[in-house]
Structure 1
Amino acid sequence: MTATTTAATVTPVGRVLALATTEVLLILRNKTVAVSSILLPVGLGVFWTFQFSSYGDPARQAVSITLQLAVALAMGIYITATQTLVARRQARVLKRMRTSGLSDRGLLVATLAPSVVLGLLQLAVFAVVNVATGAPMPVDPLPLVLAVLGGLALVVTAALATSVITPTPERSQITTLPLMFVILGVGVVASLAPAEGWWPALMLAPGAAVGDLAQLAMTGGSWTAATAGLPAILPALVATVGWPVLFGTLALRRFRWDPRH
């Protein structure tokens, strides 16, 4: 058994899994992070399920789903991932692990994967609660899937980019606040906004696509003509791709492995 385990951990995938497992344990042992990134988002998401009870109204349910997505993405993943990256950088863990045989990409995946998994678990809890409370099912599940995948890409790349301007783990509680509030606020507004008029301009703000896609998932009409005769889903699709590309490009150019002073 020992020989098998040792052989598994010397492979690139084994190293990534071993480091990711360690990161999960570190997150769970940190009471502050565990409460702020796991218990608080779950509590808020469940509270919003009852606070914004849809009573069978798909449009109202879209608001509840948007809030659940936003809190899991922004608090459960974005803030946790940023804090983890900065803490490991300041402790010189990232720099030391670059000499362990792990590729830079594998090292970042192992560091960020636990936050993503915990966030997905929160979304699974919300889904169970929604079904248990009799919430209406999505008319078109595809936009909801795109909201989850696009939201994950957004917050992961945003965490990498935010770590560039965050000198210490303690400061990450401040540097992550603006985007967290934008994702929560703009997402809710987008989930209520019509597809016509100037409302698609909301997609210029990060997180708005999550709300728009949630609305389309619950009410349908993704491919109906909206502004300028374009499909209603198109602005959200552009934003879903555009923001991760922007944050990812910034992180690729400016990411630092050495501690900041």
Structure 2
Amino acid sequence: MTTTTSTTPPRAAAGPATTRNGLRRVGVLARAELRLLVRNRTALFNALALPPLTMALFTAAGGVGDAADDVVGPVLLNVLTLMSLTFVVYYNLTVAYVARREELVLKRYLVGESSRAEILAGAAVPAVVVALAQAVLGVVAVSVFLEPPAFVNPLLMVLAVVGGSVMLTALAAATSGLSRTVESAQLTTLPLLFVALPFAGIFGGPGSSSGVFDTISTFTPLRPITDLMMLGASGIDGDGQALTFVETLAAARVPLGVLIVWTFVGVLAARRWMRWEPRR
């Protein structure tokens, strides 16, 4: 009778030490990505200047519409947050993942101790931090120069930014797999940037749209971010109704569900299409 001995090393049990090591690896990757971001002037411009400039152009073009004075601030804050997430997190991350793949950086990372999730998270940290910083600065600017938002439910605002960042990170990873080069990433990101944006609910004030178009837009990837931000900042739902804290929690169920579904879709798409080395 013979016995066989497995040569596969046992997996380390999950615990505080494993979590700390994972966070340490993500931090190291994030610092390396931050240095690359600072050196890339185009990416740095897109991260820092493009969202505020887009919001300024949006405002100059009358994007707020006939919104009441007490919701102008939340609407502008909503626009800034959405632009930061789409351009800084989604677009910049898509380009970054493609660039690191073509430079064989991702392939070298896989040889080390970092898992694929840690590699993606490490690259995403600088972009998410920039988006969070812009959202905070937007809150300060709106509170100082316009009528301060009511902040009926700040938790929903946090969920919008953090949940939106996770969803768009997953979608960026998936989109990078469809992009052969950094230049082609400018085309593969267009569907989300210029097709989904009109459905995001940032044009006009709350309750400015209704009907089939509004129903369809409710289930698009960017709409949950704006719905949650508006509910949290002003307590006003898509129909223009003012809600209390408890009522905002009930109204947030649909956008939260849509956000979770799109995050799940993004993760599945990333697992299916994400490439870790150049095509041969």
Q: Residues 131-189 of structure 1: CA distance to partner in whole angstroms, max 9, x if unpaired?
A: 22133322332332222122112211110111121111111111112201245322215
Residue 84 of structure 1, CA deviation: 0.7
1:213 aligns with 2:232: no
Q: Give the root-mean-square deviation of aligned CA atoms.
A: 3.0
Whole-angstrom CA distance in 2 between matches of 1:237 and 1:147: 9
Whole-angstrom CA distance in 2 between matches of 1:112 and 1:221: 34
Residue in 2 that maps onto 1:171: 184
Q: 2:40 aligns with which of 30, 40, 47?
A: 30
Whole-angstrom CA distance in 2 between matches of 1:195 and 1:210: 17
Q: 2:171 aligns with which of 141, 153, 158?
A: 158
1:14 aligns with 2:24: yes
Higher helix share: 1
Residue in 2 that maps onto 1:115: 127
Alignment size in residue pairs: 247
Q: Which sections of structure 1, spanning at least 5 residues, go unmatched?
A: 1-10, 226-230
Correspondence list, 1:1-261, <5 A:
11-45=21-55, 52=64, 57-137=69-149, 138-187=151-200, 188-189=202-203, 192-193=206-207, 198=212, 199-217=214-232, 218=234, 219=236, 220-221=242-243, 231-260=250-279
Give the conservation status (yes or no) of the 8 Å contact 1:189–1:211.
Answer: no
Q: Which sections of structure 2, spanning at least 5 residues, go unmatched?
A: 1-20, 237-241
Residue 206 of structure 1, CA deviation: 1.3
Whole-angstrom CA distance in 1 between matches of 2:105 and 2:135: 30
Give the conservation status (yes or no) of the 8 Å contact 2:85–2:165.
Answer: yes
SS of the equivalent of 1:257 reads coil
Q: Residues 16-45 of structure 1: CA distance to partner in whole angstroms, max 9, x if unpaired?
A: 322211111111111111112222223334
Which TM-score applies when normalising by structure 1? 0.82
Q: Which moved more, 1:16-25 or 1:86-95?
A: 16-25
Larger Rg: 2
Which TM-score applies when normalising by structure 2? 0.77
Q: 1:13 to 1:216 in 2, by over 3 A?
A: closer
Whole-angstrom CA distance in 2 between matches of 1:127 and 1:173: 30
Give the conservation status (yes or no) of the 8 Å contact 2:175–2:274.
Answer: no
Residue 200 of structure 1, CA deviation: 3.9
- Percent identity for Structure 1 against Structure 2: 29
Q: 1:49 to 1:145 in 2, by over 3 A?
A: farther
Q: Residues 206-241 of structure 1: CA distance to partner in whole angstroms, max 9, x if unpaired?
A: 10112222332312427659xxxxx43332122111
